[in-house]
Structure 1
């Protein structure tokens, strides 16, 4: 630890240095102006800067006083955690209040009292040590969150571009970790199973539950396949998370469907999810409406399957409720606009979300956003 002493008066520097030496402090640096202080703290002297825990800063100095110097220190991310103790001969309470308002933790008055000075320094050291610990923990946490985000991203299915089917999605989380998830799996030459879900909430908890249900979903599709059976199985696993001691219900909305290009059908279950749209044969727009409760909302869920038939082609557009929120404050207006847009044939070369949300509204949204697009032909 190094203490930086800033005072334009050589006598004051001598007194403070003598007190510090008498108490065993050998690591201190003395400068006589704010300019010299900033020169010493310059980023090019990074090792020196990182060693400073406490600054003893004189209030009254020429060119730049201690209050202004402290204000600049606290505005710089590299210096903001250094603890500033003002040294002053002032008895002006307004000035002293201003000094503390700009970020100083305390002050001592001249003539300097040895016991008082050392006590203030011990407090400053302790506060700096605690700040350093929290900063380090935040870095560790951020690294873990970044890793979790990469793991979650890896669970998302890559785009599909086959002669008879194409699938793509836009995925815009509101933070590193999201509660939206999409997944598709090729069942055979003619069939694909597809799922889009929106977990309750967003952030860490939603992401963890999302990753949990993702593994369940993969296994359920392999073993059960049928929409009504898969949704019922996911509901069973979601209810395993419920805890009577917690006043919190874990659930998600979602649409799971199987598109069959040989039988020319789409079998689906909409579990409490916003209405999606199917453009059938490029002519008729069919809403993909709710057929059951949200998954995990009740223990024994009643699941009903719906079937959409097509002759030559089908386009399916699904989205999470964050998209509706981004489109506008009125759900009715958003729904009408969605139906109109989904009645057109979309290009697979354009990110699906671009059809629904303007580019300038796609960032800094309070909720996760996801849009899924599937096009198939017989």
Structure 2
């Protein structure tokens, strides 16, 4: 690294394609209070706060792979003594000796708060000077001059904020598309038909589902709801998605899938109770050859099963929510059926607080209605009662 870049008035680092730090300039080392040997060869996660690790994996990396560059992304770094440093990052990906590397410019944002504090002090000085106008004309003039200077600085900061909001809105839109594209499409085979619905209460959702054909007769399904709404819940769901997709397509039993998801959440937050999230979920395997449904309900609203004769039963809670208790035990339960049936999985945003049994009645009143039409009837009920919660459900016809 040349001398000018090493001592530039901003941070600079180079990452490998896997996120390993290959080079870092003296400026960034000084900001973070690290020696070169403490940083070079480490993964970038070593410099990131816990939320920033999630943001890096779920948004920074996909956006970089998609566009090969990033402009003004807001993220937080952690110093050697644990202090959080907000920064803006510009990054570009290039090929160096047949290997992809990412070069990042890092600009600390600590001055913004200092400017706002100085502006507040200046305003107070103006107010005091106005009260003592006859005795302190000279002080008043100096305060007014300072105020004008700070107002100009505030205009510049507001301009930066507008750009930041615009960039954030664009990044949230990209995140929303990524989240929606991860959802599985409706499925129809000789043995099963599956329809689903998903609507976020804000830009991003804490609800997620997936259903997969494991082999000729087995199908894996999962629906989950992370505590809360918005970006933090969506980050957790997206960190869980590739894990449950891999586990379920391998044909693992529901209890083993839930155990792995529970371990993932505990590992994600470790001892950080303030950041900890838990998640309710139902995971099940439908075997159309053995006419058997094996499931685990981890604190989730009970699924509704209606057999070919119209008899209903529920897949009630069998375990606590995942991520809530250390060493939680997840045991599968089994439901056997003959001549097929209909199953409804849903999150709590679909439940109507004024008529909690309406889903039961909808299934009971329309036993032979095609599930595409039954889906529309459920949506009509939801639209009649606006909610501020994510809405998600899966309808399954087992033949």
TM-score (norm 2): 0.60
Measure how far apart 1:234 and its partner are: 1.3
Taking a change above 3 Å as real, the CA distance of residues 308 and 353 of structure 1, as seen in their structure-2 partners, is farther
1:276 aligned residue = 303
Whole-Å separation in 2 of the counterparts to 1:116 and 1:287 = 71
1:337 aligns with 2:362: no
1:375 aligned residue = 397
Which of 332, 339, 342 aligns to 1:312? It is 339
Measure how far apart 1:236 and its partner are: 1.3
294-303 or 172-181: which moved more? 294-303
3-state SS in 2 of match to 1:241: helix
Taking a change above 3 Å as real, the CA distance of residues 135 and 283 of structure 1, as seen in their structure-2 partners, is same
Which of 136, 152, 158 aligns to 1:125? It is 152
1:358 aligned residue = 381
C-alpha contact 1:241 1:250 (8 A) present in aligned 2: no
1:39 aligned residue = none
What residue ranges of structure 1 are gaps of 5+ in the alignment? 1-112
- After superposition, the C-alpha distances for 1:10-33 in whole angstroms (9 at most, x for unaligned) are xxxxxxxxxxxxxxxxxxxxxxxx
C-alpha contact 2:212 2:249 (8 A) present in aligned 1: no
C-alpha contact 2:220 2:249 (8 A) present in aligned 1: no
C-alpha contact 1:239 1:296 (8 A) present in aligned 2: yes
Greater relative CO, 1 or 2 (CA 8 Å, sep 6+)? 1
3-state SS in 2 of match to 1:279: strand
Which of 330, 334, 348 aligns to 2:371? It is 348
2:269 aligned residue = 242
C-alpha contact 2:292 2:337 (8 A) present in aligned 1: yes
Taking a change above 3 Å as real, the CA distance of residues 275 and 153 of structure 1, as seen in their structure-2 partners, is same
- After superposition, the C-alpha distances for 1:113-166 in whole angstroms (9 at most, x for unaligned) are 998987665444333222111111000111111111111111110111223211
1:195 aligns with 2:217: no
Whole-Å separation in 2 of the counterparts to 1:274 and 1:140 = 37
Alignment length (residue pairs): 258
Taking a change above 3 Å as real, the CA distance of residues 362 and 131 of structure 1, as seen in their structure-2 partners, is farther
C-alpha contact 2:350 2:382 (8 A) present in aligned 1: no
Whole-Å separation in 1 of the counterparts to 2:259 and 2:394 = 23
Report matched runs for 1:110-259 at 5 Å: 121-223=148-250, 225-259=252-286
3-state SS in 1 of match to 2:345: strand
Whole-Å separation in 1 of the counterparts to 2:235 and 2:327 = 23
2:320 aligned residue = 293
305-314 or 217-226: which moved more? 217-226
Whole-Å separation in 2 of the counterparts to 1:165 and 1:140 = 43
Taking a change above 3 Å as real, the CA distance of residues 300 and 359 of structure 1, as seen in their structure-2 partners, is closer
Measure how far apart 1:184 and its partner are: 0.8
Greater Rg by CA: 1
TM-score (norm 1): 0.63
Aligned-residue Cα RMSD (Å) equals: 2.4
Report matched runs for 1:6-85 at 5 Å: none
Whole-Å separation in 1 of the counterparts to 2:250 and 2:305 = 27
Measure how far apart 1:360 and its partner are: 3.4
Taking a change above 3 Å as real, the CA distance of residues 133 and 159 of structure 1, as seen in their structure-2 partners, is same
227-236 or 124-133: which moved more? 124-133
Measure how far apart 1:281 and its partner are: 1.5
- After superposition, the C-alpha distances for 1:32-66 in whole angstroms (9 at most, x for unaligned) are xxxxxxxxxxxxxxxxxxxxxxxxxxxxxxxxxxx
Whole-Å separation in 1 of the counterparts to 2:250 and 2:383 = 43
Taking a change above 3 Å as real, the CA distance of residues 350 and 126 of structure 1, as seen in their structure-2 partners, is farther
3-state SS in 2 of match to 1:286: strand
3-state SS in 1 of match to 2:255: helix
